[in-house]
Amino acid sequence: MLNILKVDHEAQFNDIGAGIVASLLQTRPQAALGLATGSTPVGIYRRLVELYREGSVNFSQARTYNLDEYVGLPADHPQSYRQFMEEHLFRHVNILPHNTYIPSGSENPEAAVTEYDRLLEQAGPLDLQILGLGHNGHIGFNEPANKLHSRTHIVALDDRTREANARFFRSPDEVPTHAITMGIASILHAKQILLMAKGEDKAEIVARALKGPLTTHCPASLLQTHPNVTILVDAKAGRFI
């Protein structure tokens, strides 16, 4: 079932997104959370940090599993997704470092793929998977293709994805060409999914993902098969839905 929440203001967007995470942790403190990086969830993480400081949310027993990581960037590289998570969430809340899992893309990516699948299997279905949405319909870094992978794998990033992410790097050439990502089956295995999108530039792909045909050429369209998806959009991204 797709539950669409369309909001007018950034603050509402962040309150609702953070509220979903916070209420899950209130009822299930040991929840396993699937996390995303990118611009869209930044305000939600900021709000979660505020809720933590107010005493409304507690991460001490939570476990987190990030969707993806660049291949070739060491964990302490400023643009690695590990650093992103530290900067926007982990270092500001009481999550235990050993409960934060992110594929490690620097030394031996093939071994990291196997290890991440082992960790996900051990975790069982994630209680909540947070997703952003790529302009090409990617979720995690499952890029449009004739075939999609079900489990964790190494992926060559689309030119469009590299261009979109170049804003975080000093030059577009520095954007890694490959990433490790959770696969589609692992994403769909989560008990609950929160897909978020903001801005005019996402309006068309949001509509294709939610109302278009199910196709591997728009990986997010496969979310239509999941029984519990919440779509959180601002008015601009939700223009066609």
> Which residues are marked as active site?
68, 136, 138, 143
Question: Which of 138, 153, 189, 226 touches ligand F6R (CB under 6 A)?
Answer: 138
Q: Tally Cβ neighbours within 10 Å of residue 216.
A: 16
Binding region for ligand F6R (CB under 6 A) out of 6-14, 85-93, 126-134, 214-222: 126-134
Q: Is the dihedral of CA 126, 127, 130, 133 positive or negative?
A: positive
What is the closest distance, in whole angstroms, from the C-beta atom of residue 130 to ligand F6R in the complex? 9
Q: Which of residues 23-42 bind ligand F6R (CB under 6 A)?
A: 36-40
What is the per-residue DSSP string for 148-180? --SS-EEEEPPHHHHHHHGGGSSSGGGS-SEEE
Q: Which is nearer to ligand F6R, 39 or 94 (CB)?
A: 39
Nearest residue to the partner ligand F6R, using Cβ: 132
Q: Does 188 bind ligand F6R (CB under 6 A)?
A: no
CA 60 – CA 96 distance, rounded (Å): 6
Report whether 112 contacts 74 (CB < 8 A).
no
Residue 144 found at the interface with ligand F6R (CB under 6 A): no
d(CA 172, CA 222): 30
Is residue 132 near ligand F6R by the rule CB under 6 A? Answer: yes
The yes or no reply on residue 134 touching ligand F6R (CB under 6 A) is yes
